[in-house]
Each structure stands twice: as structure tokens, then as C-alpha cells.
Amino acid sequence: MPDIQQHLAVSQKVSIDDLDWAAARAAGLSERERANLEFFADVESQTFFYFLEVAKLQISRDPDLISFLTMWNYEEHFHAQAISRLMAECGCPVPAAGSRAAKLRTSARLRARLEDAFQVSLAKAMPQTFVALWMTWGASQELLTCQGYESLVNTTNNPVLAELARRIGKQERRHYAFYLASARERLEGDRVAQRIVRAILERNWNPAGSGVKSPAEQAQFVANLFPDPVATFSHADERLSALPGLEGVQPGMRWLRRVSLATGAAAPAAAN
């Protein structure tokens, strides 16, 4: 496990008290930004449910893992809150993050139950492999999330959105570093875990939010958020490929092809 103390030492709720809300209101949000931020808020607010699923498993009783999961869930919770605040200030409020998160989860209950049953079985039968998978999966999601916030920074005309996305993105980078280092440790020298993780990534990988968003909604989001989805997803694939036993994996590119974003037939982007 990477040194959790380093992460705990810098962990904090993303600070928003010093942001210039008047400047945020004056700059406003484009329709595309509004849609992207709503998606981000929805996905961020689901972290608690993933946290619950993994926290009830025996395998997560490791003290360092408990520390990390608690810190991670805490930080993600405030990402959703901060985004909701910015949207409200800019005149496009989303319903309270908590109640919206629960509602989204209810509508995704069947899928969530299936995911849960699979997780519980794998975690019971092959706990080491389950943690290796969870960490690898997490690394890929956190990296895409970093890239997403960086894309918001680079494309917005709203200085407050840019600053908030920069602050959140910094925390996402730390999450990514932790997940990646943990995945590397867990996969190193474990041929069985390497084979299973590779197979599941290749067959079942989806960007974060698949429990509460349809593939079409996810494709629309990716097309709106990233100027060049192929460059973004292939970069993420390359990072995963550097992990032990995962050379050449391309879960991101496979997903892009499945949703027709890697063939030139991109979903129509929302008006800016």
C-alpha cells in the first residue's frame, strides 16, 4: 500500500470560501458547461454508494485502506457540493446533491445490485484479485476525471469555474496517484490477478457514471467535454498499459468504439 500518511497530511475539503462568486455570476456558464457540470456533480455524488459497497467487504478492513477510502469519500463529497454551489450562483441550480444522488441511485438499483453481487462474489472468492481490480479500475477513473477537470480549466471563460476545476483537479490527481501505486503493488508478481483484471477491463470497462447514466448520455458527455476524446482515452490506456501484466490493454479505446466516438461519427455536441 502506498504511504497513506502522505495523503492524509494534505487531505482537505476543497476550499471555496475565497472564490469570487460575483465574478462567477458575471461570467455565467455556457449551455455546454452547465450540462458538463451537472454530469460531474451527479457522478461525484455517487462516490458514497461505491464507498458503501466496498466498505462492507471484509477485504476493506485493512487500516490503510479504511483511511484512504474515508479520505477519498470525504473529498469527493465536497466536489459535488462545490459544483452545485457554482451552478446555483450562476443561475442554473441542480437539486440538492444528496437527494438527487439517492434518486439517481434508486433508478439504477437493478444494475447496482448486479454489480454488487459480482463484487461480493469476487471479493469473497479472490480477495487479492478484487483489490487489484478495484485499484486499477479506480486509477483509470481518477485519471479521466483529472483530464475532465483540466479540460474545463482550458476551455472556460469563467475564471471562477477555472479556479474551482483547478482545485478539484489537484485532488483528483492525488486520488489517481494513490490508486495507480496501489494497483501496481497488487498486480506485481500476481499472474492470476493480472489475467483476470486484464479480461475484465477489456470486456466490461466503462467511464465513471455507468451505474446512473446511459451509454448515450455518457457518450454525449465525453463528446462535449473533451476536444479530442481519442487522444484523452488513448493516453489513459497507455498509463494502464504500464501496469504489471496489462501491457497493450485498451479499455478506453474499446469503449469509444462501442459508443461510436472513435470512428469519426461523434455524437452531436450541445450548442455552446
Alpha-helix residue ranges (DSSP H) falling in the chain: 4-10, 21-27, 31-45, 47-55, 63-89, 97-107, 109-125, 127-155, 159-187, 191-204, 215-225, 229-241, 251-258
> What is the C-alpha to C-alpha distance for residues 202 and 36, in angstroms, rounded to an integer?
27
Q: Which is nearer to Fe ion, 139 or 262 (CB)?
A: 139
Q: Which is nearer to Fe ion, 55 or 230 (CB)?
A: 55
- Considering only residues 23 to 82 of the shown chain, the ones binding Fe ion according to CB under 5 A are 44, 76, 79
What is the smallest separation between the CB atom of 11 and Fe ion, expressed in angstroms? Answer: 12
Residue 136 near residue 243, CB atoms below 8 Å:
yes
What is the smallest separation between the CB atom of 76 and Fe ion, expressed in angstroms? Answer: 4
- Considering only residues 102 to 161 of the shown chain, the ones binding Fe ion according to CB under 5 A are 142
Q: Which is nearer to Fe ion, 42 or 142 (CB)?
A: 142
Q: Which is nearer to Fe ion, 175 or 213 (CB)?
A: 175
What is the smallest separation between the CB atom of 80 and Fe ion, expressed in angstroms? Answer: 8
Q: Which is nearer to Fe ion, 76 or 163 (CB)?
A: 76
> What is the C-alpha to C-alpha distance for residues 119 and 51, in angstroms, rounded to an integer?
12
Site string for Fe ion, 176-215 (x = CB under 5 A): ----------------------------------------
> What is the C-alpha to C-alpha distance for residues 111 and 86, in angstroms, rounded to an integer?
31
What is the smallest separation between the CB atom of 43 and Fe ion, expressed in angstroms? Answer: 8
Here the cell at position 149 is 477537470
Q: Which is nearer to Fe ion, 75 or 237 (CB)?
A: 75
Q: Which is nearer to Fe ion, 68 or 205 (CB)?
A: 68
Q: State which of residues 175, 184, 186, 213 lies at the interface with Fe ion (CB under 5 A).
A: 175
Residue 156 near residue 137, CB atoms below 8 Å:
no
| Residue 174 binds Fe ion (CB under 5 A) | no
What is the smallest separation between the CB atom of 149 and Fe ion, expressed in angstroms? Answer: 8
What is the smallest separation between the CB atom of 200 and Fe ion, expressed in angstroms? Answer: 21
Nearest CA-CA partner of 4 in 74, 73, 76, 72 = 72
HSE toward the beta carbon, residue 269, CA cutoff 13 A: 16
Q: How many residues bind Fe ion (CB under 5 A)?
A: 6
Count of C-beta atoms within a 10 Å radius of residue 187: 23
Helices 159-187 and 127-155, packing angle to 10 deg: 160
Count of C-beta atoms within a 10 Å radius of residue 3: 11
The residues that touch Fe ion, with contacts defined as CB under 5 A, are: 44, 76, 79, 142, 172, 175
